[in-house]
Structure 1
Amino acid sequence: MGSIALTSLARAAGRVLVAGLSAALACAVGVGAAPGVAAADQVRADQWQLAALDARDAWKLSTGKGVVVAVVDSGVDAKHPDLVGQVLPGIDLVDPGANDSGAVDPVGHGTTVAALIAGSGKDSVGVEGIAPGAKILPIRVLDKANKYNDPDIVARAVRWGVDHGATVINLSLGGALRSEAIAEALRYAAAHDVVVVACTGNVATDPNTHQVWYPAREPGVIAVAGLGARGTEALWSGSLTGPETVLTAPAVNLTGARPGGGYWQVQGTSFATPLVAGAASLVRARYPRMSAANVINRLIGTARDLGVAGRDDRFGYGEVNPVAALRNNLGEVAANPLMAAAPAVTSSASEPAEDGTGTPRGGAAPMPAGESDVPQLETTAEDDRAGASTVAGLTAMLLILIGGSVGVLLHRRRS
């Protein structure tokens, strides 16, 4: 993650295009100002994921109304035009004295995630989320450098979200090593009938990083990998995937809300994850008495199969299919099907996981944080290092990229 690759930017006929973004880079950021015309209507046209997931047909059955989604992230700009009225009072666990509500986002990552879930897209312009009727509960855990130093802050965030009415939790973050504190919080969420969705992670510059990130690896969590460009039905080349992968969703060329009222284009499993969280919200709203276990069962039982027939380690059960999840009749289950199907998780802070070559990860020098002089959406998080003193050579916590390797295109700010 030591170097930053900026995207090439082209502009023709008043429209910004991305060129030359390497999807395999863990830290690729580019910013370009859109000259001339306001582009809010173009923002709506660019949201190809809505058509890919048949969102308009899904909205005939459910908009997510009445569902609260906790976005555990960098905060949320509640004043963005597409999020006005969509954001509930939350909490800032990074700087509670300066901002008690979690409704300020110095990074942008959380704002983009929130709008992909519940953007209102008012007046037929701007970002429209998969579940525009849902409400966002912002919980800030990422600092201005896009990282967290202690996994306890994520565990606290999960518990706080559960205790304050969230029935879906979005975790577009992760790291290499398992955290028992986060695992306990996830068990707390499960015991309170909450659906938890997390990203599988993005390919980093470390060639030995092949394992799905944590907490997506925790049994019971919907681990979301990213799909490539429209119509390819191929895994995005920057997406981590593995036996814990549950579902996939579009992950590239997604237009997102930017703090301050503007827009940018993003890519990464961070931004595939809210599309699945939004789909879970649609199901929860249509079937308000349905248990989290059965919501999850619907999502995986109706997914559009990709790759080899049946579940596989690349695509999981396939691409999330909101319309089928809302319409199809599935038998009732007594427990979360991901608990039984999930492979055993053996990694821990004191026993680093191994990659496919048998090389321990986490015993080398700490991975440096990504650096950029522009807003960076692919945020970083530090792993739980409890007990890591037994690993020789560790002098600092391991920094891991969150969310999305991002190609950013900045449209002109809406008035």
Structure 2
Amino acid sequence: MACLNLTAALLPLPAAAPNPPAPEGTKQVRQDQWHLSYLNTSQAQRVNRGKGVIVAVPDTGVAPHPDLNENLLGGTDIIAGGKGNGQHDQSSHGTGMAGIIAAHGQRGNVGALGIAPEASILPIRTSRTDEDGDSDNLAAGIEYAITQRAAIVSISSVAGPNIRLQRAIEAAIQANILIVAGVGNKPRETFVGFPAAYPGVIAVGGIDRDGNRAAISVTGPEIDVVAPAVDIYSTSLDGKYRKGTGTSDATAIVAGAAALIRSKYPYLPAREVAHRLTATAIDKGPPGRDDEYGYGVIDLVAALTADVPPLGFESVSAPADADPSTAAGGQQGDGDSGATARGLATLGVILAAGVGWAVVARRRRRGDDPPPRISR
């Protein structure tokens, strides 16, 4: 799109309609969550479970659920006429995304389990259903997440470019918040949508049960990583469960992975968290980054345990008196510090520019040099 559209519609990524509980209900759903074993989640959760990290979910709201109650915070309702705390959902989409990120399940190892089951969910109701909403509401949701010191914002939606939305993304990045967003689903989208296409956002595509690109997943040079996106079971309304297919679900998985990293390494700036996700990803497709898989499939265990060299931008380009980056979820520091540079893994070279930093977008094209690979 060549011009900014101030009224661009926000379109949550499609997912399957809410289903009744799986055949054996609460006992069966854990077995149906194939993505947990595929990603070796149990081993990752022996290292970290996401405690102390707030993940904001601007979506259709998050309904209370037995598998989520212990870590569901009071949030806000931004839709017109909304006066609630974000804990209301008419479509199950937001509730499903929250469960993928942080469901803790129930006693006896039953119920849905999220990637980071001790992380906290900040529900932000930005639309009533999967079919309505607007970019300004999403921007307002991100602005609210900043005030609540969220460490991560998980956006399972696509929208047109919007000035307020772009500024909200930039403000969140400057506040050391990691933004994770889905790239969009075919056939409705044909290229990576916004906010995933904005510089500094972790753009997430999807894979199927065989580890191949999911047919529904949009491709493009903006994609950073991929995660399971087909037949993903999670929480739904009235204590039930849902099955979804789309990059919405993959986005929530990556947001959960980021929560694990931010919990284990609370001192890492957001760009280094993003770097861990991309540098430890399991390469797929042509060697290096490509337009279907980005840098590859996220590897939860490696992201938590590998010896990942830092990006090293500071030693090359930072002013000598630059302030240190803030910790996860911290407030924005000096405008010239490392924390304010839009230098996530989706960005490229940091150049000295007077007393500040200039960022040159690396917006990925096939053939770009990959980040340092991690031996494991």
For normalisation by structure 1, the TM-score amounts to: 0.71
Give the 3 Å change call, closer, same or farther, for CA 33–184 of structure 1 in structure 2.
closer
Letter in 1 for 2:65: H
The counterpart of 1:211, out of the listed 183, 191, 210, is: 191
2:348 partner SS? helix
- 1:178 is aligned to 161
The 5 A counterparts of 1:267-306 are: 267-306=245-284
101-110 or 38-47: which moved more? 38-47
Write the distance in 1 (CA, Å) between the matches of 2:15 and 2:163: 31
2:292 partner SS? coil
Write the distance in 1 (CA, Å) between the matches of 2:271 and 2:138: 23
Deviation of 1:298 (Å) = 0.5
2:260 partner SS? helix
Deviation of 1:339 (Å) = 1.9
Write the distance in 2 (CA, Å) between the matches of 1:251 and 1:38: 23
Q: Structure 1: which 4+ aligned runs deviate by more than 3 Å?
A: 26-35, 341-345
Give the 3 Å change call, closer, same or farther, for CA 28–65 of structure 1 in structure 2.
closer
* Cα RMSD (Å): 2.0
The counterpart of 2:143, out of the listed 159, 183, 205, is: 159
Write the distance in 2 (CA, Å) between the matches of 1:147 and 1:222: 24
Contact 2:75 2:85 in 1 (8 A): yes
1:340 counterpart = 2:348: yes
Give the 3 Å change call, closer, same or farther, for CA 181–245 of structure 1 in structure 2.
same
Deviation of 1:329 (Å) = 1.2
Deviation of 1:29 (Å) = 4.9
Contact 1:74 1:146 in 2 (8 A): no
How many residues are aligned here?
310
CA-to-aligned-CA distance 1:81-102 (integer Å, 9 cap, x gap): 10112111100001554x4200
2:143 partner SS? helix
1:115 counterpart = 2:93: no
Contact 1:198 1:216 in 2 (8 A): yes
The 5 A counterparts of 1:179-328 are: 179-205=162-188, 209-228=189-208, 230=209, 232-328=210-306
Write the distance in 1 (CA, Å) between the matches of 2:19 and 2:200: 40
CA-to-aligned-CA distance 1:100-144 (integer Å, 9 cap, x gap): 200111111000000000000121111100000100000011124
1:101 counterpart = 2:85: yes
Write the distance in 1 (CA, Å) between the matches of 2:16 and 2:345: 38
- 1:47 is aligned to 33
- 2:334 is aligned to none
Contact 1:130 1:275 in 2 (8 A): yes
5+ residue gaps in structure 1?
Answer: 1-25, 346-415
The counterpart of 1:133, out of the listed 118, 127, 133, is: 118
Write the distance in 2 (CA, Å) between the matches of 1:137 and 1:34: 25
Letter in 1 for 2:138: V
5+ residue gaps in structure 2?
Answer: 1-12, 314-342, 350-360, 365-376
Query: Which of structures 1 and 2 has the larger relative contact order (alpha carbons within 8 angstroms, sep 6+)?
Result: 1
Percent identical pairs in the alignment equals: 37
Contact 2:15 2:246 in 1 (8 A): no
Contact 2:347 2:363 in 1 (8 A): no
Contact 1:306 1:319 in 2 (8 A): yes
Write the distance in 2 (CA, Å) between the matches of 1:32 and 1:292: 36
Deviation of 1:233 (Å) = 1.9
